[in-house]
């Protein structure tokens, strides 16, 4: 992902910067380069968020399609079960078979819904990590800039 590459650049920029003598680990960095990377992160974040939103929409669509398909199966087999009700021995078998089919369709629906939810949660967790790292990098950069500016005074 582009945002990780930029964060790596910021990290290298800080690690490779000249140390300020007698400053307890403070470094001098090119503020324009650093701010440019922060601007690029800001430009990328909306794209990443839109990707997450698209994935959520896809998840919702998949869940809705799975539920609709499950309902189709349920209705299909209910109709078939109703047709078999007129016959005595076959009726009991048909009811049992219909119940099993309905239960299976409902199970498949639950599994599809659960898989879609897990997938969406994974994507959102990943996006949360990306955004949190980006914000941490920005905060660290701002703090270092403040410290650098204070040490110049």
Mean pLDDT of the chain: 83
Question: Could you tell me what percent of the chain has a pLDDT over 90?
Answer: 3
Domain count, the chain: 1
Q: Of 4, 7, 1, nearest to 38 (Cα)?
A: 7
pLDDT at 92 over 70: yes
pLDDT at 113 over 70: yes
Q: State which residues form the domain around 56.
A: 2-152
Three-state DSSP at 48 gives: helix
pLDDT at 84: 60
User: Would you mind telling me the total number of residues written for the chain in this entry?
Assistant: 153
Over the stretch 43-90, which tens digit does the pLDDT of each residue have?
887 777 788 788 888 888 888 888 888 888 788 777 776 666 666 667
Residue 52 φ then ψ, to 5°? -65, -40
Cα atoms in the 13 Å half-sphere on the side-chain side of 21: 0
């Amino acid at each position: 992902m582009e945002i990780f590459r930029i964060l790596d650049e910021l990290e290298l920029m800080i690690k490779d910067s000249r140390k300020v003598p007698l400053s307890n680990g403070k470094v001098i960095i090119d503020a324009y380069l650093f701010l440019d990377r922060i601007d690029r992160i800001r430009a990328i974040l909306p794209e990443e968020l839109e990707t997450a939103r698209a994935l959520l929409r896809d998840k919702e669509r998949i869940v809705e399609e799975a539920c609709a398909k499950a309902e189709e199966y349920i209705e299909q087999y209910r109709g078939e079960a109703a047709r078999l009700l007129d016959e005595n021995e076959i009726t009991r078998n048909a009811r049992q078979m219909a119940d099993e089919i309905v239960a299976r369709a409902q199970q498949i629906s639950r599994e599809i819904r659960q898989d879609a939810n897990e997938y969406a949660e994974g994507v959102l967790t990943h996006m949360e990590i990306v955004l949190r790292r980006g914000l941490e990098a920005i905060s660290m950069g701002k703090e270092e800039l403040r410290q650098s500016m204070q040490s110049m005074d």
